[in-house]
């Protein structure tokens, strides 16, 4: 077992143990807020191109008629009241620590995409990115943590994602794979925590200002 895998397992177990009361509270909130399952599963492409089910807390309404788009914009009508809060603070991603324990993902690594977007990867980038386990967080996740707002401002969110955001994300992913190290993983985890904390402080400041 490599150092990275040992870190992944210890980190995931610790995160699930510490956040257990929060996980239970979120599960109850989702169940009371809207109809549907607590967890959401979606096929993503992982290590060596193998598909796997990624786990998230459900943040959207369980209405098949609203599930055609595979990107989500800010103020998306599909998002539930609980989902809006969970997505803002990245709490919907917590179940992915189960994916880490199952070996589908790492704590840090290129974010896994759905098959339709992986097909758009240039061949060299696809081979490089899929040579490692995908992660819960990465450099692109930090840079594009407000991706929903960017997409919401576009006339055609799907086109913006395919033409501009996805290629930029791939550059960050390729850079990570080429430069990966245990210290870089620790740095990305730290920067992710700082980014989430900064967003939390910013949102609280906005609430106080409105009052």
List, in sequence order, the alpha helices (H) in the chain. 3-18, 20-33, 81-88, 96-101, 115-118, 123-129, 139-143, 147-152, 157-160, 166-179, 182-210
Contacts of 181 (CB under 8 A, 6+ apart): none
Residue pLDDT, tens place only, 145-178: 878 777 877 888 889 999 999 999 999 999 999 9
For 180-206, how does the pLDDT look when each residue is reduced to its tens digit (9 = 90+)?
Answer: 999 999 999 999 999 888 866 555 555
Q: Per-domain residue ranges for the chain?
A: 3-210
Mean pLDDT, residues 122-150:
92
What is the pLDDT, as a whole number, of residue 66?
A: 53
- Round to whole Å and give the CA distance between 12 and 7: 8
64-104 pLDDT, tens digit per residue, is 555 555 566 666 778 899 999 999 889 999 999 999 999 99
Supply the Cα-derived Rg of the chain in whole angstroms: 17
Residue 41 has phi, psi (to 5 degrees) of -120, 140
With a cut of 70, say whether residue 33 has pLDDT above it: yes
Q: What average pLDDT score do residues 115-141 get?
A: 96
Close Cβ partners of 60 (under 8 Å, ≥ 6 residues apart): 40, 66, 67, 72, 76, 78, 79, 80, 83
Is residue 132 scored above 60 in pLDDT?
yes
Residue bearing tokens 């730290």 = 190
pLDDT of 69: 57
Identify the bridge partners of residue 137 per DSSP, sorted by sequence position: 108
- The pLDDT of residue 151: 82
pLDDT score recorded for residue 77 = 79
Beta bridge partners of 41: 55
Confidence of residue 19 (pLDDT cuts 50, 70, 90): very high
pLDDT at residue 207, rounded to an integer: 44
Copy the structure tokens of residue 172: 């960050």
Helix (H, G, I), strand (E, B) or coil at 58: coil
What is the b/e burial string over 56-80, where b = at least 16 CB atoms within 10 angstroms of the residue's CB? bbbbbbeeeeeeeeebbbbebebbb
Q: Is the pLDDT of residue 60 over 60?
A: yes
Mean pLDDT of the chain: 89
């Amino acid at each position: 077992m490599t150092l990275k895998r040992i870190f992944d397992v210890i980190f995931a177990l610790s995160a699930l143990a510490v956040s257990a009361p929060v996980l239970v509270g979120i599960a109850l909130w989702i169940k009371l807020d809207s109809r549907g399952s607590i967890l959401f599963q979606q096929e993503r492409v992982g290590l060596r191109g193998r598909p796997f089910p990624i786990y998230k807390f459900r943040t959207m309404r369980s209405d098949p008629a609203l599930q055609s788009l595979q990107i989500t914009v800010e103020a998306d009508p599909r998002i539930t009241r609980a989902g809006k809060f969970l997505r803002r603070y990245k709490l919907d991603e917590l179940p992915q620590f189960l994916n880490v324990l199952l070996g589908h993902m790492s704590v840090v690594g290129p974010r896994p995409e759905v098959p339709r977007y992986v097909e758009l990867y240039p061949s060299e980038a696809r081979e490089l990115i899929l040579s490692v386990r995908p992660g819960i967080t990465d450099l692109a996740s930090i840079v594009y943590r407000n991706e929903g707002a960017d997409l919401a401002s576009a006339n055609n969110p799907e086109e913006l994602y395919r033409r501009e955001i996805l290629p930029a994300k791939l550059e960050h992913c390729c850079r990570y794979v080429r430069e990966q190290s245990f210290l870089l993983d620790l740095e990305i985890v730290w920067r992710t925590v700082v980014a989430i904390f900064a967003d939390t402080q910013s949102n609280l400041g906005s609430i106080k200002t409105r009052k």
